[in-house]
Structure formats: C-alpha cells, structure tokens
Amino acid sequence: MFNTNLVYLKKIYFMKTCKKCNIEKDLNQFAKTNQRKLGVDNICRLCRNILQIEYRRKTNNIATKKYEKTKRGFLTRLYRNMVSRISGVQKAKYHLYKGKTILDKTLFYEWALNNETFHLLFNEYEKQNYDRKLAPSVDRIDSEGGYFIGNMEFVTHSENSRRGAIKKKLIYESTKEI
C-alpha cells in the first residue's frame, strides 16, 4: 500500500509527459523554466534540442538565401560552383573542366565587381525576381581554356546553356566528319 502510494506520488511530482513525443519522463528530463506551473518546460530536453536544430537550420537557410541575393553573396556562390566544376566535386561534365586553371577568389571578385555586364545582368535578374534563366553566369570564351581574366565573360544562365549546346553540337559534327 505504502509502496503504490509512493509510485503514485512519484508520478505526480516527478514525472511529466512531453507535449512533443508524448513520452512520460522524469522531471529532470525537462529544462527548468519559471514560465510554467511546474517550473519546467512542457517539452523534454531531447525534443527541445531537436526543435532548436531544426530552427537553426531553417533560419540559416533563410540567411544564406538572403545573402545570395546580394551581389557579393551571389559571386561567392558562383565562384564556389566554378571551383567545384574544376576540382571534380561536380561530377557532371567534369571531362570538360578537368585540369583547367582558375583565378584567385579575390581577383575574381575584383574582376566581377568592376565588370559592367555583371552589374547590368544582376540588376535585371533582381528586377525579374531572381529568375534562374537570367542569373549572371561566367562563360569561358575559349572553352579549352580555364577561368582567367581575358577568357571569361558574363552572360545569362540561359545564354550560357545555349552556347554549351552549340559547342556540343559542333564537337559532335566535327567528329562525324572525321
């Protein structure tokens, strides 16, 4: 009798059901807070941690997206993509980029930020609510060469794809002639 009472008391005073996972847990599994009746959070520590990780991931993504809408942030991503093509992180079309050179990041920013076409294209891209087809893209004038000043020009993303398709066709036709 005494024992069951104790179990009952323990249930009232030391146990609590988490509002998130619905598991009954010991009170010390809940963070202390003075905003609640029992003086503890209504969500267990484990669930609270998961929520916090999800929240951070979400806000970080929003921050990244916001940053990539600035010229500086956009160029950061553009450069990162160029590097991953050359280094083979991006497996698609790696044969086209393998062993090509790439200019230094600081030099790239300087070149891009002083490039009139970049500003014109970016402003239009911004005005058209970041339509991917209009995103400024770096085309290599000589596709045999790497990314260096004198071999790069800004075109829209769709123009770059169009040029890529033409080059592919030309390569295909020249192999047919041989």
Task: Figure out which of the listed residues 6, 21, 38, 107 binds Zn ion, where binding follows CB under 5 A.
Answer: 21
The least distance separating Zn ion from the CB of residue 49, rounded to whole angstroms, comes to 10
Our CB check for Zn ion shows the closer of 21 and 165 to be 21
Task: Figure out which of the listed residues 44, 75, 86, 138 binds Zn ion, where binding follows CB under 5 A.
Answer: 44
Q: Measured between alpha carbons, how far is 8 from 22 in angstroms, rounded to an integer?
A: 19
The DSSP 8-state label assigned to residue 15 in this structure reads E
Task: Figure out which of the listed residues 16, 30, 40, 47 binds Zn ion, where binding follows CB under 5 A.
Answer: 47
What one-letter code names the amino acid at 141? I
Interface with Zn ion: number of residues (CB under 5 A)? 5
Q: Of 27-35, 39-47, 80-88, 150-158, which segment contacts Zn ion by CB under 5 A? A: 39-47
20 binds Zn ion (CB under 5 A): yes
Exposed e or buried b per residue across 70-85, where buried means at least 16 C-beta atoms within 10 angstroms of its C-beta: ebeebbbebbeebeeb
Our CB check for Zn ion shows the closer of 18 and 75 to be 18
Rounded CA Rg of the chain: 28
Residue owning tokens 């963070």: 31
112 binds Zn ion (CB under 5 A): no
Our CB check for Zn ion shows the closer of 47 and 135 to be 47
8's tokens:
């009952």
40 binds Zn ion (CB under 5 A): no
What one-letter code names the amino acid at 174? S
Residue owning tokens 């003086």: 39
Q: Of 44-52, 116-124, 134-142, 145-153, which segment contacts Zn ion by CB under 5 A? A: 44-52
Q: Measured between alpha carbons, how far is 155 from 64 in angstroms, rounded to an integer?
A: 24
Under the rule (CB under 5 A), what is the footprint of Zn ion?
18, 20-21, 44, 47
